[in-house]
Amino acid sequence: MLDTPNSSTLAHTATSDSPDFSVPIVLGMIGLGTVGTGVYKILSRRTDLVFHQIAVRSLKKERDLPGLDSERLTDNAKSIVSDPAIQVVIEVMGGVDEARPLVIEAFKNGKHVITANKELIAKHGAELFDLAKARNVRLMFEGAVAAGIPIIMPLKLSLAANNILEIAGILNGTTNYMLTQMAEENWNYEEALLQAQKKGFAEADPTSDVGGHDAAYKISILASIAFKKRIDMKHVYCKGITSVTATDIQLAESLGYTIKLIGLCRQAEAGQLDIRVHPVLVEHDHPLASIKNENNAIWIKGDAVGDVMFYGKGAGEMPTASAVCADLLAVTTDLHKGNDPIPSMEIETTGFANILPVTETKNKYFVRLHTADHPGVIGLIGTACGEFGVSLESIVQHGIHEEDGTASIVFITHELAEKQMLKALDKIKADPAIQKLGCVLRIL
Task: Kindly list the catalytic residues.
Answer: 218
End-to-end CA distance of the chain: 59
Give the type of residue at 395: I
The backbone region for 295, taken as left when phi is positive above 0, alpha when psi lies in -120 to 50, beta otherwise, is beta
Q: Which residues, listed in sequence order, are joined to residue 367 by a DSSP beta bridge?
A: 411, 440
Tell how far CA 291 is from the center of its chain. 15
Q: Give alpha helix (H) positions in 135-188.
A: 152-153, 173-184
**CB neighbours of 54 closer than 8 A, spacing ≥ 6?**
28, 29, 30, 32, 36, 40, 72, 73, 74, 80
Among the listed residues 27, 46, 22, the one whose alpha carbon sits nearest the alpha carbon of residue 87: 27
For residues 164-202, b (16+ Cβ closer than 10 Å) or e, as one string? beebbbbbbbbbbbbbbbbbeeebebeebbebbeeeebb
Taking CA 215 as the corner, what is the angle to CA 137 and CA 207, rounded to the nearest 5 degrees?
A: 115
**CB neighbours of 142 closer than 8 A, spacing ≥ 6?**
150, 151, 152, 153, 323, 324, 326, 327, 345
Q: Which residues, listed in sequence order, are joined to residue 313 by a DSSP beta bridge?
A: 295
Q: Which residues, listed in sequence order, are joined to residue 88 by a DSSP beta bridge?
A: 27, 112
